[in-house]
Structure 1
Amino acid sequence: MTTIDTAPGIGAIPLSAPVNLRDLGGIAIPGGAVRPGFAIRADDLATVTDEVADELVAGGLRAVIDLRSSAELALTGRGPLGERASVSYHHLPFMADIGTATAIASVPRQHEFGAMYLHIYESAAPQIVTALAIMAHAPGATAFHCAAGQDRTGVLAASLLLALGAEPADIVADYVRTGENSAMIHRRIAPVIRPLMERLGFDLDAVADAAFSDAPMRSLLRVLDERHGDPLAPLQAAGLTDGLIARLRERALEADAA
């Protein structure tokens, strides 16, 4: 299979390898570092090839968390990974539709995207906590993705790293790695995202022209600290318990060598 058939007027969507996939292993947390093979962040995993799906499963992937909207999911379904019996699938949309993001594409990214990240973190706190619980109890690696693997995926990656006790500088450092892949991401997601954005009256190319910056993630972390004192407070109010945090850290920690 090389394409996915979609709704009339959209056409077939080509399957391809992710261009913004990375294991969070090696990021420093108290007591050591995140263990490779625990959590993987990615761009759209619904449009990967069968070969990529097989490689991920062979590498230990056992759960997929899909952060896309229902409209995005309706276009592609779960994709080849949804056909692997050993991989559980969890749809936890962080936004009702992608218009929430694209509506602010014409204003300064460093200000408005940071506000969007804060809105996602606070309004989707129950989904974030559910995602963390899945990672804490999955028998193997958990991969989470949206379309580009940048905004929604970036918020969940930051949430996980905050729960694991990572330093803000290391959270930002992981986030900015996406900027290295921006052009490839744009080309890969265009067949899916362009039709959805056109329905909402937005131009994907204009959005993609926005310069990538570390400012949105820095803004999120700063405002969480200023507004809540403890950045985990919104998640704790949504059900993040000390026990779940302990389980996450137990599963994630690769201890320093003696």
Structure 2
Amino acid sequence: MQLIRLDGSYNARGIGAPERPWLVRSAALDGLTASGERTLRGLGVDLVIDLREPQEHGARAHGLAVRELPLYGEAPPRAGTLEDVYARLIRDRGERLAAAVAAIAEHPGTVAVHCTAGKDRTGLVVALARLAAGEARAEILADYAASGVAVRAARSALVADQIAPLRLSREARREAERLHLDSPAAALGLALEQLDALGGAERYLLRHGATPAQLAELAARAAEAASHAAPDRPVPAARAARTAEPVR
């Protein structure tokens, strides 16, 4: 993963080759400046997948194409535990998770995926896409955990104001703050164990609507990115055999 300085957003990272990632993740991009948009376009990004609910965003300042794929299907949770939120998403929102991963695979360019803070909904979709692409679990967990510092710096005061009216107990308040601000690797690790119990990420995605061709496309992109990151490595046969047409 590579940290990306993005004017008008935060918590942005690229997955794959530093100068041409195959996937970008970030916090919300509504306030992206012209400079921030140029940064993303320079990395090959020409589509944004927005995982938020319609009521979570206003006007967008950038000119990138946007595909809205709301994940929750309702207002985002304001309290609770990270682990419970991830478990419910995996249990109840499999079709939406698979649709988001499929949208990454279907687009022939580089996609930027975001929610509000870019850690939970984004973290789960990115983890599924990377697992389907055959990337190492340790790298996926490290990427997820990297959101914590950036999100706390950007959102601590806002989250305090949001949860104050809920009048939570001290323990419930601590869990709510953790839900909105933290990204401990153990929380995503538990979600991935839940996926393992369901047959693994690939089987889960296929069961909920993704296609074998889409998952193969993700694997080819990740393999190609690895070959760019290590120039002496030959281009993988899976990529060489892939057609230029986007997956439908």
- TM-score normalised to structure 2 length: 0.75
Match of 1:91 in 2: 68
Q: 1:63 aligns with which of 31, 47, 53?
A: 47
Give a deviation string over 1:121-173, Cα, whole Å, max 9, x none: 34222222222222223232100001111111100111111111123222211
Q: Which amino acid aligns with 2:15?
A: L
Alpha carbons 2:14, 2:24 under 8 Å: kept = yes
1:252 corresponds to 2:233: no
Alpha carbons of structure 1 residues 233 and 71: separation in structure 2 relative to 1, 3 Å = same
Equivalent residue of 1:25, what SS?
A: strand
Deviation at 1:70, TM superposition (A): 1.7
Deviation at 1:115, TM superposition (A): 2.5
Alpha carbons 2:48, 2:113 under 8 Å: kept = yes
Alpha carbons of structure 1 residues 252 and 167: separation in structure 2 relative to 1, 3 Å = closer
Alpha carbons of structure 1 residues 37 and 231: separation in structure 2 relative to 1, 3 Å = closer
Q: 2:35 aligns with which of 47, 51, 61?
A: 51
Equivalent residue of 1:24, what SS?
A: strand
Once residues 48 and 136 of structure 1 are traced to their aligned partners in structure 2, the CA distance between those partners, rounded to angstroms, is 24
Deviation at 1:16, TM superposition (A): 5.6
Once residues 16 and 199 of structure 1 are traced to their aligned partners in structure 2, the CA distance between those partners, rounded to angstroms, is 30
Once residues 179 and 145 of structure 1 are traced to their aligned partners in structure 2, the CA distance between those partners, rounded to angstroms, is 15
Match of 1:22 in 2: 13
Deviation at 1:89, TM superposition (A): 1.2
1:234 corresponds to 2:215: no
Q: Which runs of 5+ in 2 are unaligned?
A: 1-5, 235-248
Give a deviation string over 1:81-127, Cα, whole Å, max 9, x none: 2xx2xx32111111134442x221xxxxxxx3123112213422222
Match of 1:121 in 2: 90
Alpha carbons 1:16, 1:49 under 8 Å: kept = yes
Equivalent residue of 2:146, what SS?
A: helix
Identity %: 26
Deviation at 1:61, TM superposition (A): 1.2
Equivalent residue of 2:142, what SS?
A: helix
Q: 1:42 aligns with which of 26, 42, 46?
A: 26
Q: How does 1:73-152 map to 2 (within 5 A)?
A: 73=57, 76-77=58-59, 79-81=60-62, 84=63, 87-100=64-77, 102-104=78-80, 112-152=81-121
Alpha carbons of structure 1 residues 169 and 237: separation in structure 2 relative to 1, 3 Å = same
Q: Which has the higher contact order (CA 8 A, sep 6+)?
A: 1
Match of 1:6 in 2: none
Alpha carbons 2:8, 2:36 under 8 Å: kept = yes
Deviation at 1:229, TM superposition (A): 2.7
Q: How does 1:193-204 map to 2 (within 5 A)?
A: 197=162, 201=166
1:223 corresponds to 2:200: no
Alpha carbons 2:15, 2:23 under 8 Å: kept = yes
Once residues 200 and 238 of structure 1 are traced to their aligned partners in structure 2, the CA distance between those partners, rounded to angstroms, is 37
Once residues 92 and 71 of structure 2 are traced to their aligned partners in structure 1, the CA distance between those partners, rounded to angstroms, is 8
Alpha carbons 1:224, 1:231 under 8 Å: kept = yes
Alpha carbons of structure 1 residues 137 and 236: separation in structure 2 relative to 1, 3 Å = closer
Deviation at 1:36, TM superposition (A): 3.6
